Amino acid sequence: MSRAMFEYTKTVLNKVSFNTELFRKELEKAIKRLLPYEIDELRIWLNEFTQGKPELYVYLPLIK
């Protein structure tokens, strides 16, 4: 079940990445509902996903 939540979170973040405010809100929700090891995986995914997207890269400190 939690693996599905992690995959769902990645999908949502990908879809809302056009809007930085929505991205921040969804990232904050993800941090609250994911397990600690999934947050670590999300951090790795976000580092790759935000490469070349400086408007999103500024939200990485929320997850650290």
Write down the domain spans for the chain: 2-63
Q: Residues 7-16: what's their mean pLDDT?
A: 97
* 11 compared with 1, residue with greater pLDDT: 11
- CA gap 56, 60 in Å, rounded: 8
Print the SS3 string covering 24-42. HHHHHHHHHHCCHHHHHHH
Give the pLDDT of residue 64: 76
> For residue range 16-56, what is the model confidence (pLDDT) as tens digits?
999 999 999 999 999 999 999 999 999 999 999 999 999 99
Which of helix, strand or coil describes residue 46? helix
* Per-residue pLDDT at 11: 97
pLDDT value of residue 1: 59
pLDDT at 36: 93
